[in-house]
Amino acid sequence: MTLMGDVNTFINGDYTTVEKAYLHIEDRGMLFGDGIYEFARCYVDGIPFQMEEHLQRLKNSAKAIDLELPYTGPEIKDIVGELLEKCGAKQAGIYIQATRGLNMPRTHHFPRVVKPSFFIIVRELEPEPPEFMVDGVKAILLPDQRWTRCDIKSLNLLPNILAKEKAVREGAYEAIFYRDFGVTEGSSSSVFAVFDGRIYTTPAGEWILPGVTSHTVVQLASRAGYSVHFEFIPREKLYKADELFITSSRLDIVPVSTLYDTPIGSGKPGPLTRALKEAFQAFARGQA
């Protein structure tokens, strides 16, 4: 019998435990990475933060790959609410995934009759390591070898995974991607640099995922009177930044204090990054 606290997964219409949930081996998500995903979180009291924005990005990704989601936005919100109530998670991570579904026999083109697969997993998140805001984190720079539709939050993350693993092996937290025209984003984050009190980040387009958190950071920075510029930053210029930070839905704002072994600015989290971190946390808890 499943205990109340064990139920943290919804898959294709059923509430269950993550251990009992499964997809068929010939699901197109498994065979081709033919699917999309989204991640949101709760800061306090099991209340999803910016769920509307995350669901809109999920919808945009689905449209971009011609995938019809099996549930509407309100239905997904109801499912998430039910899962949060069943598992009792308060500061939770919410993972949502949809694939094109079962494909027998295996074909590269879309099956003519297919039912999409859909699941959500809710788990309690571990708190951010306190040393992140004390010392900052280390990052490395890598060529961006991903495809040119990074605006789609697809399941095809192998280049990101390889970059993240290389970063970990070099004692770093993140790998920041660059192309000939400049920095794009991190392997699992958006990138911001500060020069002379002005904030710079990558312009929207197919080279980056439109970050829900990064969008909020831009809004908060503008409200606080900071000027925000959307430009491709040459990778060599990153070393000369006064401050450098990354953003993601999982950890909101994380200061980058070193690139490889080169200190950024003072080599510690800078005042602008700290101010934005405080503003974001206050905003997130206020929204909840």
Render pLDDT for 185-207 as a digit per residue (tens, 0 to 9).
Answer: 999 999 999 999 999 999 999 99
> What pLDDT digit, counting tens, does each position of 82-112 carry?
999 999 999 999 999 999 999 899 999 998 8
Q: Mean pLDDT score of the chain, rounded to an integer? A: 95
What local confidence, expressed as pLDDT, does residue 125 receive?
Answer: 95
Residue 5 has pLDDT above 60, yes or no: no
Mean pLDDT of 47-70: 97
In the CATH scheme, what is the code of domain 131-287?
3.20.10.10
Buried b (16+ CB within 10 A) or exposed e, 157-186: bebbeebbeebeeeebbbbbbbeeebbbbb
Parallel, antiparallel, or unpaired: how do β-strands 35-42 and 228-230 relate?
Answer: unpaired
What local confidence, expressed as pLDDT, does residue 3 receive?
Answer: 41
| Catalytic choice (63, 86, 115, 153) | 153
Q: Which residues pair with 138 in a beta bridge?
A: 258
Can 153 be counted among the known catalytic residues?
Answer: yes
CB 185 within 8 A of CB 150: yes
Only one residue has tokens 């579904």, namely 101
Q: Where in the chain is the domain with CATH 3.30.470.10?
A: 4-124
- Spell out the alpha helix ranges (H) of the chain: 28-32, 51-64, 73-87, 131-135, 158-169, 212-223, 235-238, 271-287
Overall pTM surpassing 0.75 (yes/no): yes
Instruction: Tell which CATH architecture fits domain 4-124.
Output: 2-Layer Sandwich (3.30)
Residue 249 has pLDDT above 70, yes or no: yes
What local confidence, expressed as pLDDT, does residue 6 receive?
Answer: 85
Q: What percentage of the chain reaches a pLDDT higher than 90? A: 94
Q: Which residues fall within 8 angstroms of residue 272, CB to CB, at 6 or more apart?
A: 194, 197, 199, 226, 242, 243
What local confidence, expressed as pLDDT, does residue 33 receive?
Answer: 97
What local confidence, expressed as pLDDT, does residue 2 receive?
Answer: 38
Measure the CA–CA gap between 200 and 47, rounded to whole angstroms: 31
Residue 54 has pLDDT above 90, yes or no: yes
Tokens of 131: 């040393």
What local confidence, expressed as pLDDT, does residue 113 receive?
Answer: 73
From the DSSP assignment, how many helices (H) and strands (E) are in the chain?
A: 8, 15
Q: Where in the chain is the domain with CATH 3.20.10.10?
A: 131-287
Mean pLDDT of 20-35: 96
What local confidence, expressed as pLDDT, does residue 4 receive?
Answer: 46
